[in-house]
Amino acid sequence: MRNVASGFARSRSGSIMPLFFLCTVPLITVVGFAVDYTSAVQTRSNQQQALDAAILSITTMDTASTLQQRQQGLQDAFIANGGQGSATLTSFVAGTATTATTARATASFAMPTVFMTIARIDTVPVAVASAVSKPPALVQATFKVTGVSGYWNKTMTLYGTQFGATAAKPLMTIDYKYGGTGDPKGYGTTTTSVLTTDSTGKTVTTVAQKQVCKLVDSNTPAGAVIQTDTFKTQYYCVDTMYPADGLGASIDVSQMGGLYLQMYVPSGNPQYLKTNDATTSNRLYNGVKDPQTNAINYKEIATGQIVDIFGIVPCGTTGYQAWEDGGNAVPAPVGNADFFYNVTGKCDFDKRPSNTVLTQ
């Protein structure tokens, strides 16, 4: 046998093709398996991206959505993002004012092979998993004026951009009119209103608070809280809430993807101050109350910053804000500000996708 093999190797009269073919079969098989493996890796990457996008999308669905509706939404979004096979929502826990929304999902697909069929492997299972966590976020903000002064009339407006919209719309106004008191500081009437849209698209204005500030004189009503400003002027303010037990202007921001505040001062320079404008946001002060002294510590927004309204309105507690309307150069102490109000936030499940974090 050894002599036969040796003779076959030394032979010059026979063809080498059968031997070459026998040698290339294992090589082709290995290369083919590598091609199928690479295809499986790419398919898994695509599946993961599609499932991640799908599970993020269902966290924006309404809280009243059933598990079956979320499952259908997951599958639809999975396919729309290039996923193959089926996606399964394994768990969904809706969040509350204090707990996060969480969800888990898996997807599986039997990827057809090309070369591995040689080894009778017709498909390769590709499985992926995703999980998300979405903390409670601002869904309602309630504004209450605490004091406005100055000779300049001014209006603060809260603007919000709804999901899917490109233009912001006004949600609330706080309008101040100087009352001609003639003192160094100047006092007047401030009206806070909620703006909504009716079924015809018309804007409906609902007054939530009216504050009238006057100088102390013989007509000052009994029981009025007398205050003294930095110029030693005594004054008092009378608040009227609508309804009488109201806490201020409560604004639903659960459908808003973006929020910003604008101060319009017709006599100012500039006239428009905006929290989403890095050149004018430094007119805003944000404050917190010291639990030991009850003093409010205000911090002026640094020049060049864009203010995230969702981030500076606290959940379940009262925050404090003030505006310098343009009469003084910044930075300046908060005592120079002429527009003070409180804002309290309510946090719960919301539809903003930006709050969701992939955890798997």
Taking the domains of the chain in order of start, what are their residue ranges?
Answer: 16-134, 138-353
Q: 3-state DSSP call for residue 10?
A: helix
Specify the pLDDT at position 330: 85
Q: Which range is least confidently modeled, 4-8, 124-128, 203-207?
A: 4-8
The length of the chain in residues reads 360
Residue of 298 and 33 predicted with greater confidence:
298
pLDDT at position 65 over 70: yes
Extract long-range pairs of 244-249: CB within 8 Å, 24+ residues apart.
Answer: 246/208, 246/209, 247/142, 247/144, 247/344, 248/142, 248/143, 248/144, 248/145, 248/192, 248/208, 248/209, 248/342, 248/344, 249/142, 249/143, 249/144, 249/172, 249/174, 249/192, 249/193, 249/194, 249/208, 249/209
Closest CA to 356 of 103, 178, 16: 103
Specify the pLDDT at position 173: 97
Specify the pLDDT at position 216: 95
Contact 127, 105 (CB under 8 A): no
Strand-strand pairing, 86-93 and 101-112: antiparallel
What does the alpha-carbon distance between residue 294 and residue 290 come to, in Å, rounded to a whole number?
5
Sequence letter at residue 35: V
What does the alpha-carbon distance between residue 306 and residue 118 come to, in Å, rounded to a whole number?
61
pLDDT at position 27 over 70: no
Closest CA to 176 of 142, 206, 215, 148: 148
Closest CA to 144 of 167, 172, 108: 172
What does the alpha-carbon distance between residue 297 and residue 258 come to, in Å, rounded to a whole number?
27
| Residue 92 Rama label (left phi>0; alpha psi -120 to 50; beta) | beta
Specify the pLDDT at position 17: 54
Report, as an integer, the average pLDDT of 127-147: 91
What does the alpha-carbon distance between residue 55 and residue 296 come to, in Å, rounded to a whole number?
42
Label residue 282 by pLDDT band (50, 70, 90): very high
pLDDT at position 26 over 90: no
Q: What is the pLDDT of residues 296-330, one digit of tens each?
A: 999 999 999 999 998 899 888 899 999 998 777 88
pTM of the model: 0.76
Q: What is the pLDDT of residues 179-225, one digit of tens each?
A: 999 999 999 999 999 999 888 889 999 999 999 999 999 999 998 99
Specify the pLDDT at position 331: 86
Q: Which residues contact 187 (CB under 8 A, 6 or more apart)?
A: 149, 178, 179, 181, 213, 214, 215, 235, 237
pLDDT at position 9 over 60: no
Report, as an integer, the average pLDDT of 282-303: 92
Specify the pLDDT at position 20: 45
Q: What is the pLDDT of residues 153-165, one digit of tens each?
A: 999 999 999 887 8
Label residue 18 by pLDDT band (50, 70, 90): low
pLDDT at position 22 over 70: no
Specify the pLDDT at position 1: 45
Helix axes 67-80, 17-58, angle to 10 degrees: 140
Structure tokens at 359: 């955890």
Residue of 88 and 163 predicted with greater confidence:
88
Return mean pLDDT, the chain: 86
What does the alpha-carbon distance between residue 312 and residue 320 come to, in Å, rounded to a whole number?
9
